[in-house]
Structure 1
Amino acid sequence: MSYGLYRFMVPKIKICGLTNLEAVNAAVKNKVDYISCVFYKYSPRNITPQFAESITEEIPNRIQKIAVLSTYESNIEDIIKYYKPEILQFHSDEEVDDILKIKSRFGLPIIKTIRVNKLEDLKVINKYSEIADMYLFESYSDNNLYIDKPGNKFDWSLLKKVKIDKPWFLSGSLDKYNVNYARRVSGAVMINASVTLESSPGIKDPNMIEDFIKSVRNPNY
Structure 2
Amino acid sequence: MMTPFRWRFAVLSLAVGALLTPLAHADGVASLRAFVKDVSTGRGNFTQLVTSPDGKKTRKSAGSLEFQRPNRFRFAYSTPTEQLIVGDGQKVWLWDADLNQVTVRPMSNALGATPAALLSGGSLDKDFTLKDVPKASASGADSNLEWVEAVPRDKDGQFRSVRVGFKAGVLAALVIEDGFGQRSRLDFAQFESRVTLPATRFQFTPPAGADVLDQP
**Could you state the TM-score of these two structures normalised by the residue count of structure 2?**
0.30
Which structure's relative contact order is higher, taking Cα pairs within 8 Å and 6+ residues apart? 2
Bigger fraction of residues in strand: 2
